[in-house]
Structure 1
Amino acid sequence: MNKVLITGIDSFTGKYLSIFLEDKGYEIYGTSLSKSGDKKFICDITSKNDVLNVLKEVEPNFIIHLSGISFAAHGKNEDFYKVNTIGTTNILDSILELNQNPSKLILASSATIYGNQGKEVLDESLCPIPANHYGASKYSMECLSKGYFSKLPIIITRPFNYTGSGQAEQFLIPKIVKHFKEKKDSIELGNIDVSREFNDIGYVCEVYKRLLECDKKSEIVNICSGRGIKLLDVISSMNKISGYEINVKVNPAFVRKDEIKSLTGSNEKLYSLIGNVEQKEFELTLRDMLEA
């Protein structure tokens, strides 16, 4: 009874999580948009027939739904809703249609649903005010999925920023690391005197495992640590690790007006559900990324 289906298994998170859970004794299956293989199925979650076929084949005991469009600057706004919102309800409807009874479904939302709250610490009691289509599509997914709480054992997660080796270079920390790998003289950034969560992918994998195994359901919870890291400290750490200093140029085009200087998530609810979760020092994460 340990079959886990991970949608979006080829994603940054999916690759790490599949290895992590397999090492813990789980039997891993996955969906991909383009690659099939041993226990991996090509599946477009916007196609209910695709979803039904995979669920019939696998009959999973657990589902971790990671599949979706996660880059906020994706060009077509309608895609966010088609994939992130409708794709998720396709999965939930298909499970019910097949009369399957998984032990746990984890649906990945995003901390971007909070929008700009004007607060330094964000907890689950806040009313979401998403500021872009990515966040709005995830919040829409949450609202619709809550209608299934009485029928399926669902936990919705709101991950804050996390990173690690292999993350796409369009994201901030991989962008910084890439500049150091290539020995660039300078880098253009936006507001650098700000503090944000940058958790390690290993921390996130441990959180997902514990949420999978806990007896809680019908919950919406942050995946966060409450650990704020200043961008200036990221640069300082990279200077130290790489052995040279990069010149940071502030590009006004990257600067957001009224940006909150410190922004983290509250881990109070998360830790009440699964216990405290430790993670390695961020400088070690940066070193791993630089040396990868």
Structure 2
Amino acid sequence: MSLNSRALNSGVLPRVLITGLQGFTGRYMAAELEQNGYEVWGIGSSNPDEPRTLQADLTDTASLIAAIQKVQPQYVVHLAGIAFVGHGQPKAFYDINLVGTRNLLEALAPVSDQLRCVLLASSANVYGNLQGGLLNETNPTNPANDYAVSKLAMEYMAKIWAPHIPVVIARPFNYTGVGQSDSFLIPKIVSHFVHKRDTIELGNMDVWREFNDVRDVVHAYRKLIEAAPVEQTINVCSSNLVSLRDALSLASEMTGHTLNVTVNPAFVRPNEVLKLGGETTLLKTFVPDWKPRALRETLAWMIDAESKHLCQL
């Protein structure tokens, strides 16, 4: 019997706490869980308007303890953090991604007996840019910026708590979707095509990367907390590599617009590998129905949403 069926039969929904509920991934995570029989609670640093959302700050352990004592979760999906690699204050990566996660785990310790799974969202950035091809979880880590270092440090720190808290670490590769900031690559491309800009500045056009769909990522996260492969680190990836040049061609085909591309040297990483993605074997062990969308479907969704938004302006 599925988790959803058990919950409906018992009349008691399993309770999950999402950190970063108000962020890009958090909103999709909440929808995925609610549609599959969970009672969703969230915490955020701003004053929340949504029901079952509490104000708590990852840098303030006391506020986290108070929120967790109120929610009494069986599951936690930890999404809160600073995700943009170009963020201007490197110290914030460590304050939030590392120390903030430690504060969360400390706050969860008093309710550890009732916890079934705590998923921590790390990043495939921990592998760095020196290894090519499809990487699996045994590949060496080689973080190349403060964001990636903070995420890898978070992974090591979490192992200290693993004997007491059922932690699973997810390493998502690139993903995107409606609502993601256009400081990220695919939303930037979509915005430029929909708004019919003349020129776009990008980096190396001939690199191949994954551009996965946020709806698939949150589906994988739900399946992972249900499977609860405690103390494992799992790539959330598709192995579907697309070149930046092909992504631009696809956007041009779908919008009927063409633009000029200027390569900005500031966006080009030295010694960048040509092809880089994730290997899905371990993920499929716990998410056997894993069938990620192709970029064309994700782009169609994003272009449609951006076009509708433009018409409303």
- Structure 1 length-normalised TM: 0.96
Contact 2:193 2:258 in 1 (8 A): no
Compared CA separation, residues 20 and 98, structure 1 to 2 (3 A): closer
Corresponding position: 1:132 with 2:152: no
How does 1:157-196 map onto structure 2 within 5 Å? 157-196=170-209
Once structures 1 and 2 are overlaid, which stretch shifts more, 171-180 or 146-155? 146-155
Extract structure 1 runs of 4+ deviating beyond 3 A: 97-100
Tell me what 1:3 maps to. Answer: 15
Equivalent-residue separation in structure 2 for 1:185 and 1:68 (angstroms): 34
In 2, distance between residues paired with 1:124 and 1:12? 26
Indicate the larger mover: 248-257 or 149-158: 248-257
Matched residue, 2:47 = 35
After superposition, where does 1:214-233 map in structure 2 within 5 Å?
Answer: 214-233=227-246
1:14 is aligned, of 1, 14, 26, to 26
1:56-135 correspondence to structure 2 within 5 Å: 56-98=69-111, 100-135=113-148
Shift, 1:222, TM fit? 0.7
Alignment counterpart, residue 35 of structure 2, candidates 23, 45, 55? 23
Residue deviations 1:169-198 (CA, integer Å, cap 9, x gap): 100000001101210112111111111000
The AA in structure 2 aligned to 1:207 is A
In structure 1, give the amino acid aligned to 2:30: S
Matches of 1:26 and 1:201 in 2, distance apart?
A: 19
Quote the offset at 1:209 in angstroms: 1.0
2:255 match: 242
Amino acid at match of 1:148: W
TM-score (norm 2): 0.90
Q: 2:223 aligns with which of 210, 222, 228?
A: 210
CA contact (8 A) 2:212 2:294 kept: no
Q: CA separation in 1, counterparts of 2:265 and 2:153? A: 32
RMSD of aligned Cα (Å): 1.3
Give, in angstroms, the shift of residue 24 of structure 1.
1.1
- What corresponds to 2:64 in structure 1? 51
Helix, strand or coil for the counterpart of 1:206? Answer: helix
The answer on 1:291 being equivalent to 2:281 is no
Do the aligned partners of 2:130 and 2:273 also contact (CA within 8 Å) in 1? no
How many angstroms apart in 2 are the aligned matches of 1:215 and 1:85? 22
Percent of aligned positions that are identical: 39
Q: CA deviation at 1:224?
A: 0.5
Separation of aligned partners in 2, 1:158 and 1:229? 19
Q: Which ranges in structure 2 are unaligned for 5 or more consecutive residues?
A: 1-12, 306-313
Contact 1:85-1:137 within 8 A present in 2 as well: yes
Amino acid corresponding to residue 192 of structure 1 in structure 2: M
State the Cα distance separating 1:98 from its structure 2 match: 4.6
